[in-house]
Every structure is written in C-alpha cells, then in structure tokens.
C-alpha cells in the first residue's frame, strides 16, 4: 500500500479517536473493566479504532523505515533495557520534580550513582518518549513518564527489565538442554538464576523479587470484577476460591462488586502472609486467605467457583492436569472452574492485538515452560484432566483483553 493510502486510512481512525476525546471521554485509563455499560460500549468502540490506528501506523513505520532499519530499530529493545532498569533501580520517576523538572546532577546525587553515565542512560529514555529534556541537563516529566509514578507500574517495569530479561536470554539454551520443554525447573529461568526450584518457589525464598513480582502482577492484571458469573452466584453462602490469588487484588475487587459472595484467596505461605496485611477492615469476613499449594488436594470443599487467574499459563499441560485433578475431591456437583487468561489465535499475524499474547507466551516459556493456549488446547486440557469436566465455554468480553474459560463439574 502507498504511504498516502496508509496515511488516509490512519486519518479516518484518527478522526474517530478525536471524536471520542472531544466527547470528553477519559481515554487515558481504558484498563478498567468496571463501570456503566455505556463506558464498556465506549471502550469497545475506542479499542477497535485504536487497534486499527496502531496496525496502520505500524505498517506505515515498517515501510518508512525500510526492512533493514526496521529490524535494527526492533533489535534495540535489549539496549533500551539499560534505561528501563535504571528508571526502576534508581527510582527515578518520583525523584523528578513534577513542576520544574530535576537536573541530572541532582538525580545522580539522590540515586548515589555517577552523573555522567546516568545522564546518558536517561537521555536514551528521552529518545523513547519517556521523559523530556526541556533544557540541557534537566529531566522533566511528560504523560508517559508520569504513568511511572504509580509504584506498581514502576515495579512492572523493574520486573520485566531486571528479572524477565535474564530468563529470556537463556530460553534457547534451556530448550537445547531440556528439549521436553515441560518441567518448570528446566527453563530459561532455571539457567539464569541457577535455581533448582520452580520460579514461584524461588520467589518464596527471595522476598525482594517476590515483592517486585507481586506488585507487577497487580499492575497489569486488570481486575475481573465484572461479568455475570459473579452476579449469578452472588447469594448468601456462596463462595469463590481464588486459587493462586496472589496479593488478593482480584478477590477484593470481586468482593466489592458483589454483596454476599465470600472470596477465599489461596497462595503459597509467604505470599499469603503479605495478602493478609492487604485486606482492608471493611472486607474482613468477605475476603479471607489461606495457604494452599495447588499441587496438593484442595482444602476448601464445595465452593461454587474455583477461580484461576493467570495461573495455568505458568505451567505445562502435565502440571495443569495435576492442578485440575487436585480440585476433584473438593468439588460438588455444579462447582465451576473459571480460568481467566488470554486466548492464543491459531494463526500469527502482524497485529497489535497479538503482540502482548505472543510476548506473554514466550515469557511463560522462558520463566516456567508454561504457555498461553488456544481454544483447542483448553478443551484438550480439561478432557485429559477428567471426562467429568463439562463442555468448555469461552466468555469473551470485548472491553478487556482476557477471556473467561469455564467448565462445570458433572460427577
Ligand atoms: C502469575 S501470578 C497470578 C496472581 C493472580 N492470580 C493474578 O491474576 O494477578 C501466579 C501466582 O501463583 C502462585 N503460585 C505459584 N505456585 C503455586 C502453588 N504451587 N500453589 C499455590 N500458589 C502458587 C504465585 O505465588 C503467584 O501469586
């Protein structure tokens, strides 16, 4: 397609996006799934226009760069990581004065690192559009750097730039060494950290990474407080168990969005200790937590829903089957397993919508030998775990990036 044709296509979407902004809609925080139905319609419409705009703009960029420069630009992400690491490690965003900006000299003093390399590293961030340098030697916030004032979001940057990147660089070595690609102790992470434990057990023994990872999960996993399943089961006595619920952010959101539902957060003992402190007094009784290793028999019997948010993608099929089978002694007729994850399309395309899914898939591969799954993969998984799991349903919400994958227990 010609540059002009692409630009015209982009202009069409740009006008739609501008009309949303002109209508006074907040386009800065589309991540939320809460809110009135008109908000959801807006998000759906906005998302569609935005996706088309991003895809067209990306195609324009590919053509404008030309093949070699395009590849070179994409290869630069490893080098950019130095800037991302520094932003997190030296806690730069809150150190930059929001009104006046802050000099590199001051930032270096506050961070306790030499000024010259820090300035070079931060100037690279400016070339990425994160921060500005309004006058030589001064770093100032812009809209993108301001998002990093959220400590959870900054932790996400730290977790990706400091931790995940190490696993990624050893992923191929791990595949060559352990071609079965199944064990959580035989992946890029295992080589990078010389660990004999699976990733989350390693975190349990290393509270600093565990805290960073917990905050990172909280920053990116948009809540699933919406969707009829929670409203349908919201009656006195109803229980949902959030298996591997981390710091309880999802359970708390669901408790807030319902009236009666009791939410039980389960995780490894170290995480549960942190979660206990996160539950606010007004949710006591509605949200509680307990230690539960999901590779052992489920202790909470007869729950209405056993919920797994971004758990199964951490594990290869053999381990997911163990996790599902450990529920069987606890389930009553009609107990529903609800999995919240991305769905992988069968065919790859150069589309923005697939970007994060495919990146997450490779992260799962290098962090645990886990994977993101297609619809067919999910059906196969439940069937292999036990024939008594009912037909697998997929509830897609166009206003979120995630899907609920449901199966009802029919003994
Ligand atoms: C990717 S995080 C997902 C957290 C949360 N469900 C969410 O969506 O944000 C995976 C969680 O599984 C927990 N986990 C890992 N292995 C576990 C095990 N064997 N038993 C229970 N929880 C485990 C981790 O501690 C972590 O909180």
Query: By alpha-carbon position, which residue is closest to atom 18 of ligand 1?
Result: 293
- pLDDT of 35 reads 45
pLDDT confidence tier of residue 403, bands split at 50, 70 and 90: confident
Residue 67 CA to ligand 1 center (angstroms) comes to 41
Please report which confidence band the pLDDT of residue 23 belongs to, taking 50, 70 and 90 as the band edges. Answer: confident
pLDDT at 223 (0 to 100) = 54
253 pLDDT band, cuts 50/70/90, is confident
CA pair distance 132, 102, nearest whole angstrom = 11
Q: Which pLDDT score is estimated for 37?
A: 53
Integer-rounded Cα radius of gyration of the chain: 23
What share of the chain in percent tops pLDDT 90?
77
Atom 7 of ligand 1, residue of closest alpha carbon: 309
100 Cα–ligand 1 center, Å: 41
Burial of 37 per CB tally in 10 Å (0-12, 13-18, 19+): exposed
Q: Which residue has the higher pLDDT, 85 or 26?
A: 85
User: Ligand 1: which of 241, 243, 263, 267 to mutate, judged by most atoms within 8 Å of the beta carbon?
Assistant: 267
State both tokens at 72. 């070179």
Which of 198, 200, 211, 223 has most ligand 1 atoms within 8 Å of CB, for mutation? Answer: 200
Least confident stretch, 20-29, 146-155, 282-291, 332-341: 20-29
Q: Is the pLDDT assigned to residue 16 strictly greater than 70? A: yes
Look at strands 262-267 and 287-291 and give their pairing.
parallel
Q: Which residues pair with 142 in a beta bridge?
A: none
3-class SS letters over the chain: CCHHHHHHHHHHHHHHHHHHHHCCCCCCCCCCCCCCHHHHHHHHHHHHHHHHHHHHHHHHHHHHHCHHHHHHHHHCHHHHHHHHHHHHHCCHHHHCCCCCCEEHHHHHHHHCCCHHHHHHHHHHHHHCCCCECCCCCEEECCHHHHHCCCHHHHHHHHHHHHHHHHHHHCHHHHHHHCCCCCCCCCCHHHHHCCCCCCHHHHHHHCHHHHHHHHHHHHHHCCCCCCCHHHHHCCCCCCEEEEECCCCCHHHHHHHHHCCCCEEEEEECHHHHHHHHHHCCHHHECCEEEEECCCCCCCCCCCCCEEEEECCHHHCCHHHHHHHHHCCHHHCCCCCEEEEEECECCCCCCCCHHHHHHHHHHHHHHHHHCCCCECHHHHHHHHHHHCCCECCCEEEECCCCCCEEEEEEECC
Q: What is the pLDDT of residue 20?
A: 78
- What tokens appear for 391 in the block? 């037909």
Check if the beta carbon of residue 95 is closer than 8 Å to that of residue 107: yes
Q: Are 327 and 386 in contact (CB under 8 A)?
A: no
What does the pLDDT look like over 303-361, one tens digit per residue? 999 999 999 999 999 999 999 999 999 999 999 999 999 999 999 999 998 998 999 99
Lining ligand 1 with CB less than 6 A are 200, 217, 221, 244-246, 250, 267-268, 271, 292-295, 309-311, 314
- The residue whose CA has the least distance to atom 19 of ligand 1 is 293
User: What is the mean pLDDT of the segment spanning 13-19?
Assistant: 89
């Amino acid at each position: 397609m010609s540059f002009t044709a692409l630009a015209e296509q982009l202009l069409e979407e740009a006008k739609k996006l501008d009309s949303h902004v002109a209508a006074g809609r907040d386009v800065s925080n589309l991540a939320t799934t809460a809110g009135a139905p008109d908000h959801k319609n807006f998000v759906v419409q906005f998302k569609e226009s935005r996706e088309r705009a991003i895809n067209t703009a990306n195609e324009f960029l590919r053509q404008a760069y030309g093949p070699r420069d395009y590849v070179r630009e994409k290869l630069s992400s490893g080098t950019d990581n130095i800037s991302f690491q520094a932003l997190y490690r030296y806690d730069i965003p809150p150190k930059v004065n929001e009104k006046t900006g802050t000099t590199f000299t001051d930032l270096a003093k506050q961070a306790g690192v030499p000024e010259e390399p820090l300035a070079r590293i931060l100037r690279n961030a400016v070339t990425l559009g994160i921060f500005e340098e309004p006058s030589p030697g001064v770093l100032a916030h812009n809209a993108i750097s301001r998002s990093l004032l959220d400590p959870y979001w900054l932790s996400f940057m730290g977790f990706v730039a400091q931790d995940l990147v190490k696993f990624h660089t050893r992923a191929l070595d791990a595949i060559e060494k352990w071609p079965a690609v199944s064990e959580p102790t035989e992946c890029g992470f295992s080589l990078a950290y010389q660990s004999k434990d699976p990733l989350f057990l390693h975190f349990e023994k290393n509270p600093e990474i565990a805290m960073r990872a917990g905050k990172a999960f909280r920053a990116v996993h948009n809540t699933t407080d919406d969707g009829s399943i929670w409203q349908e089961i919201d009656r006195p006595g109803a229980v949902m168990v959030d298996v591997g619920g981390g710091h309880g952010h999802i359970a708390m959101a669901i408790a807030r969005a319902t009236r009666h539902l009791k939410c039980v957060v389960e995780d490894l003992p170290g995480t549960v200790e942190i979660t206990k402190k996160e539950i606010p007094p007004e949710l006591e009784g509605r949200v509680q937590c307990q230690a539960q290793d999901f590779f052992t028999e489920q202790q909470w019997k007869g729950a209405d829903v056993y919920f797994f948010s971004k758990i199964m993608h951490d594990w290869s099929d053999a381990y997911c089957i163990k996790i599902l089978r450990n529920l069987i002694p606890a389930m009553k007729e009609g107990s529903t397993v609800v999995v919240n994850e991305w769905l992988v399309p069968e065919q790859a395309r150069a589309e923005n919508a697939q970007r994060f899914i495919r990146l997450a898939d490779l992260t799962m591969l290098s962090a645990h030998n886990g994977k993101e799954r297609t619809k067919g993969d999910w059906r196969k998984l439940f069937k292999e775990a036990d024939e008594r799991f009912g037909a697998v349903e997929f509830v897609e919400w166009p206003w979120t990036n995630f899907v609920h994958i449901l199966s009802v227990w029919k003994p």
